[in-house]
Chain A
Amino acid sequence: MFDSLSSKLQNVFRNLRGLGRITEANVADALRDVRLALLEADVNFQVARDFIEAVKQKALGQEVLRSIQPGQQIIKIIHDELVTLLGADSPGLRLEGAPASLLLVGLHGSGKTTTCGKLARWLHKQGAAPLLVAADVYRPAAMDQLATLGRQLNLPVFTKPGETDVLRLAREALAFAAANQRTVLLFDTAGRLHIDQPLVQELVRLRDLVRPAEILLVLDAATGQEAVNVATHFHQALGITGAVLTKLDGDARGGAALSFRAVVGRPIKFVGVGEKLEDLEPFHGERLAQRILGMGDVVALVEKAAEAVDQDEARRLEEKMRKGQFTLEDFLAQLRQMRKMGPLESLVGLLPGGADALKNADLSRSEKEFRRMEGILCAMTPAERRNPNILNARRRLRIANGSGVKVSEVNNLLNRFHQMQQMMKKMGKFQKLLARMGGPGGAGGLPPGMFGR
């Protein structure tokens, strides 16, 4: 019933693509579907309506009717309008003041404490000296949670168990930061309802005391129509300077992001994409729009790969591949490198149309297969990995017993490896040919056929 926005829009676009000519009637038809898709994606109904209106105005204009492929043109208009609405790429954090203060605010359970830890890690990597301030004096064990994150990051945390006055705590935190040469303070405030006046006023007083350079609204990507109210109230009271969209690793369609942009108009700065402390990415409007439109997020995939893959190692492997000297040892290294990039489901989700494919594929099974392959490879001796040709029946049986699989699985793996080797040799020759003709060389890091199954 509720298809993802991507697949829904893809259906709409498929119809549009087939059209030779755009009439007002079929634009209206298609746009109604787009509107429904946006509503299902939790985009606020008012925002969705105005968005559709804007697209319609442009779509019915002259430029579309005269263009050669009207369908493509409308897709472009929808895409551009979505990018405009989502806003430009993350401008980074403003870190004015010595020390600079960041205030993280939001509803209960939106992910403030975790985001606080992630931002501290990010700032630390940028060369800042962050201090985490546990300013949640209400939720049981909230301070412990931040303290644990601080320990994991090896960064100082200012906590004061038992304190009930946030302002006093903040004053002491500022003094502590000054005494310990911390350059950025991250205030993890308590979750509160946007209509809870006493608690919101407490935030206003905290803001007036610490004069933060940034007040970030932490917003759960799965937030529904309510996102508009939440953003409006917090913005009116505090003057929000940006947002962090959390839990984007789920299948929530993130319509809340559009709503936030529409009412507050401030940039979305970061997105949370997992439970681990490194799972924080700068926001990219274009990417989110493309992801929403089902174009996949190839850029993120490449970045992920770049982070996980050791460049020198990759070059060495590539060289080997080209020369056809790719051994099982290298295969194992590749396998491990790929698994370092994260669970397969999150990778495939980034591919164009991947979210669609994901719906039916049981990726945990392929994931398991990779683990088995690793097990088989580990059960071989280094000599065997370097020279698979010595693997006779006895050796194969030993390997199968050693890794707890059937001999047929070992054979299977070896067959696939040989196929891969053949392919690489061919590619190597092809590339040499291309290089001689001045064409593009250098294949990507992953051997072809890895995703094949």
Chain B
Amino acid sequence: MSFFQRLKAGLAKTQHRLVHEIRRIVTRSPRLTGATLEELEAALLGADLGLPMTRRIVDAVKTAYETRGRDGPDVFAIARAQIEQALTPAETPLGRASAGLTVVSVVGVNGTGKTTTCAKLAHYVQGRGAAAMLAACDTFRAAAIEQLQLWGRRLGVPVIAAAYQADPAAVAHDAIAAAQARGADYLFVDTAGRLHTKSNLMKELQKIHRVMDKKLPGAPHEVFLVLDATTGMNALAQAREFHRAVPLTGLVVTKLDGTSKGGMVVAIQQELGLPVRFIGVGEQAEDLQPFDPRQFAEALFGTPEPAVA
């Protein structure tokens, strides 16, 4: 069997769902040997949980088995508990300024779904009786402004925009002025996608935030980093760099309607203490849900039931 054939055969297996994988590992082998632990490790890595978190769960499983024997603990329960413990929930999905306008800046690398998330957030606060506005600060990508304006029309939300190549900080400034004048409750600022490694673009982002703070002290009140659930370990680098440039207040994980598990948010919260605020689960305006750590853990490891034989 050639190297490639072996790879292909091996990879077919990985399509099993994580739960099946772990269940198989546990039921097949009553005692956790080095080999089973490695399989458990592989399954956890497959969910993009990253090495440190994976090690933590594997260690927890190991310890539990060593101290209580095989009849005691349930591997799922241990893993779930570990994840839940790592993900402290945010006090509120979306904060509110003590008075007047609340400005929410939405940042992230290219193609994670910032524009769609802005629209969904506007829809979310609308549903709670608040007046929302959108600021089209992506003046770089072709048709980014049109995309936000189309959303604005669909949702009946005013969109503040300028021409392409305009200074995004100026757009943000004007948008805050407009939102204040119209008495809006929330302003969602859609920034251009930028790779976290481009220092000039990160400086541009800092400038946008500086200008907003000057126009309305305290703004932006929330800074959300939008992460694509399919992203792997690079998500941590993204979060780290964005957090260093403009202190973030939370994460939004998008595209969780696929088979991606978005496991890297666990590592991010571990290192940076940034809670996940919302998850995006579809292309429609209502496909945005406040994040629930318990649900997330259950989605990864199945609902709690005495399933392990």
By a beta-carbon cutoff of 8 Å, the part of chain A in contact with chain B is: 1-2, 36, 39-42, 44-47, 49-50, 54, 84, 107-111, 113, 138-149, 152, 193-195, 220, 222-230, 232, 247, 249-253, 255-256, 262-263, 265, 275, 343, 345, 362-364, 367
Residue among A1, A109, A255, A367 having the largest count of chain B Cβ atoms under 10 Å? A109
**A110 / chain B contacts, CB cutoff of 8 Å:** 111
The 16 listed contacts between A and B (C-beta, < 8 Å) are A2-B236, A40-B51, A41-B233, A42-B232, A46-B10, A108-B283, A109-B112, A139-B147, A193-B258, A194-B258, A195-B258, A224-B233, A226-B259, A232-B11, A247-B110, A262-B7
Cα of A114 to Cα of B140 in the assembled complex, Å: 13
Cα of A138 to Cα of B283 in the assembled complex, Å: 9
Whether the Cβ atoms of A226 and B260 lie closer than 8 Å is yes
Q: Of B14, B150, B231, which contacts A224 at CB under 8 A?
A: B231
* B contact residues, range: 35 or more
Cα of A5 to Cα of B114 in the assembled complex, Å: 29
Q: Which residue of A lies closest to B140 (CB)?
A: A275
B47 located at the interface, meaning its Cβ lies under 8 Å from any Cβ of chain A in the complex: yes
**8 shortest interchain CB distances as A-B pairs:** A224-B232, A109-B111, A42-B232, A145-B143, A148-B142, A141-B147, A144-B143, A140-B150
A140-B146, A224-B48, A255-B232 are known contacts. Are A49 and B42 too (CB-CB below 8 A)? yes
By a beta-carbon cutoff of 8 Å, the part of chain B in contact with chain A is: 3-4, 6-8, 10-11, 13-15, 42, 45-48, 50-52, 109-113, 140-144, 146-147, 149-151, 154, 195-200, 203, 228-238, 255, 257-260, 264, 271, 283
Whether the Cβ atoms of A263 and B8 lie closer than 8 Å is yes
Residue among A110, A147, A225, A362 having the largest count of chain B Cβ atoms under 10 Å? A225
**B203 / chain A contacts, CB cutoff of 8 Å:** 364
Q: Of A36, A41, A220, which contacts B111 at CB under 8 A?
A: A220
A262-B8, A363-B199 are known contacts. Are A220 and B237 too (CB-CB below 8 A)? no
Cα of A224 to Cα of B42 in the assembled complex, Å: 14
**A228 / chain B contacts, CB cutoff of 8 Å:** 11, 14
Q: Which residue of A lies closest to B52 (CB)?
A: A1
Extra contacts, 8 of them, besides A109-B112, A145-B141 (Cβ < 8 A), are A46-B42, A139-B283, A141-B146, A141-B150, A228-B11, A250-B109, A250-B234, A262-B7
Whether the Cβ atoms of A247 and B45 lie closer than 8 Å is no
**B110 / chain A contacts, CB cutoff of 8 Å:** 109, 111, 247, 275
Chain B: minimal CB distance from A218 (Å): 10
Q: Which residue of B lies closest to A138 (CB)?
A: B283
Whether the Cβ atoms of A44 and B109 lie closer than 8 Å is no
Cα of A44 to Cα of B271 in the assembled complex, Å: 23
A47-B11, A111-B111 are known contacts. Are A145 and B142 too (CB-CB below 8 A)? yes
**A249 / chain B contacts, CB cutoff of 8 Å:** 195, 197-198
Chain B: minimal CB distance from A408 (Å): 26
A50-B3, A224-B233, A250-B196 are known contacts. Are A141 and B143 too (CB-CB below 8 A)? yes
**A148 / chain B contacts, CB cutoff of 8 Å:** 142-143
A111-B111, A228-B11, A364-B200 are known contacts. Are A247 and B142 too (CB-CB below 8 A)? no
Whether the Cβ atoms of A50 and B10 lie closer than 8 Å is yes
**A84 / chain B contacts, CB cutoff of 8 Å:** 3
Q: Of A40, A111, A226, which contacts B230 at CB under 8 A?
A: A226
Chain B: minimal CB distance from A431 (Å): 38
Whether the Cβ atoms of B234 and A252 lie closer than 8 Å is yes
Cα of A151 to Cα of B15 in the assembled complex, Å: 43
Q: Of B3, B45, B230, B260, which contacts A45 at CB under 8 A?
A: B45
Chain B: minimal CB distance from A325 (Å): 36
Chain A: minimal CB distance from B288 (Å): 15
Cα of A7 to Cα of B258 in the assembled complex, Å: 33
**B258 / chain A contacts, CB cutoff of 8 Å:** 107, 193-195, 226
Cα of A139 to Cα of B233 in the assembled complex, Å: 28
Whether the Cβ atoms of A222 and B42 lie closer than 8 Å is no
Whether the Cβ atoms of B150 and A223 lie closer than 8 Å is no
